[in-house]
Structure 1
Amino acid sequence: MKIYIRYMVSRRCKMAVEQALMRMGLQYIRVDLGMAELREDITEEQKARLKRLLHETGLELIEDKKDRVVEQIKTTVIESIYYCGTPLKVPFSAYLSRKLNLNYTYLSNLFTASQGITITHFMISHKIERVKELIEYNELTFSEIAFKMHYSSIGHLSNQFKKMTGTTLSFYKTHGQKRDINIENL
């Protein structure tokens, strides 16, 4: 049985889900961002208890099918930005459609209706937050950040950064504007 979980966007979240499942004595096959696959079905009573345990850690069980698809889209975007070391060999739209086994137009319309922004805008927002994080680490040059984030050039990164933040990469780096946004809140 698969269960889907909202706001599960980091390894820390995965650990919280694993701990909740262990506390309940539920055996799982795997826990990934946004979902857990259990060895067997759970009762309504177990589901209610799991909801409470997840809520304590800021997570939420998703039961509505459309909400699950939207969360899967978000999770796929986050995985591609934060955890994928190599660029995709196909356009993201094709990758997403193939991964979720649904038509991209359907996914795009569903996401926009639910979130009020496009998948592309959601993805760019996360990429820019990741760029800010990499700038704050102060370990990579702007060119290295552009390469790591799969931008075609530093110019492309610079233009997108300026458009999204209203400031340049250099200004952001020298003025140390600290990010106060968690990826769960984007």
Structure 2
Amino acid sequence: MLLQIKNMVCNRCIKVVKDELEKIGQTVNSIKLGEVELEGTLSNHQLERVKSVLEDNGFELLEDKQSKLIELTKNLIIELVHSKDPIKLHINLSDHLSAFLNVDYSYLSNLFSSFEGITIEKYLILQRIEKAKELIFYDELTLSEIAYQLGYSSVAHLSSQFKKTTGLTPSEFKKLRDSSRKALDKVGGQQ
């Protein structure tokens, strides 16, 4: 049985969900961001137990198609931003999402905006800026390398979006060594 799970946005989340489901006797066939496939089908009692365990750990079982589509969209964007392959962020996002989710992008865009209170593009920017903060904080890459890795056309473009989003330039942020980063599931619109 395939389940869609809200707020499952990092590798630690995957581990927690897998461990907690196995504790209650569920066999996890596969698991990835926002999705877990359990062996067999679940009785109503088992489903309620799964929901309860997920909620106790800050997750939510998605049961309607629109919520699932929004969560899949968010997870695809997070995977793109955190991919080790910077080429992935140099793709056309609307084409990628439409093809992967098999939905019209204008429908997806309107649905996302109505659910999240921001556009898909703004969500992507917020995710990129959070990743930029992480990379700046750890001080292993130059700003030019960070810009390339995050799919920006130039350092100036990254700096402009960084300042617009955070109120600081990347250099100012670096000087602060501030840990004002957000958890991935807290980035974006309505949380």
TM-score range, shorter chain: over 0.9
Contact 2:33 2:75 in 1 (8 A): yes
- Other-structure match for 2:186: 185
Within the alignment, does 1:68 sit opposite 2:68 as a pair?
A: yes
Tell me how far 1:90 sits from its aligned partner: 3.6
Moved more, 94-103 or 18-27: 18-27
Counterparts of residues 63-102 of structure 1 (less than 5 Å): 63-88=63-88, 90-102=91-103
TM-score of the superposition, structure 1-length normalised?
0.94
- In the TM superposition, residue 40 of structure 1 has moved relative to its aligned partner by 1.6
Please tell me whether residue 49 in structure 1 is matched to residue 49 in structure 2.
yes
Unaligned runs of 5+ in 2: none
2:156 corresponds to = 155
Structure 1 counterpart of 2:53, one-letter code: L
Write the letter of the residue equivalent to 2:182: I
* Runs of 5+ consecutive residues of structure 1 not aligned to the other structure: none
Number of matched pairs? 186
More displaced 10-residue stretch of structure 1: 169-178 or 125-134 = 169-178
- How far the C-alpha of 1:38 sits from its partner, in A, is 2.1
Residue 139 (structure 1) aligned with residue 140 (structure 2): yes
Identify the residue that residue 176 of structure 1 maps to in structure 2: 177
Q: Which runs of 4+ in 1 moved over 6 A?
A: none
AA aligned to 1:71 is: E
Give a deviation string over 1:137-162, Cα, whole Å, max 9, x none. Answer: 01111111111112111111111111
SS of 2:87's partner is coil
- Aligned-pair Cα RMSD in Å: 1.4
Q: Distance in 1 between matches of 2:7 and 2:98?
A: 21
Q: What residue number does 1:38 align with?
A: 38
Task: Describe the shift of the 1:51–1:76 C-alpha distance in structure 2 as closer, same or farther (beyond 3 A).
Answer: same
Which deviations, in whole Å up to 9, do the C-alpha atoms of 1:15-61 show, x marking residues without a partner?
A: 11111221222223210100112232111111110111111211111
2:135 counterpart of 1:124: no
Identity of aligned residues (%): 39
Q: Report the secondary structure of 1:87's partner residue.
A: helix
Whichever residue aligns with residue 185 of structure 1, its letter is K
CA separation of 1:100 and 1:10: change in aligned 2, threshold 3 A: same
Is the deviation greater in 170-179 or in 134-143?
170-179
Residue 16 of structure 2: aligned partner:
16
Kept in 1, the 8 Å contact 2:130–2:181? The answer is no
Instruction: Please report the TM-score for the alignment, with normalisation by the length of structure 2.
Output: 0.92
Partner Cα separation in structure 2 for residue 86 and residue 139 of structure 1:
16
Whole-angstrom distance in 2 between the partners of 1:99 and 1:180: 29
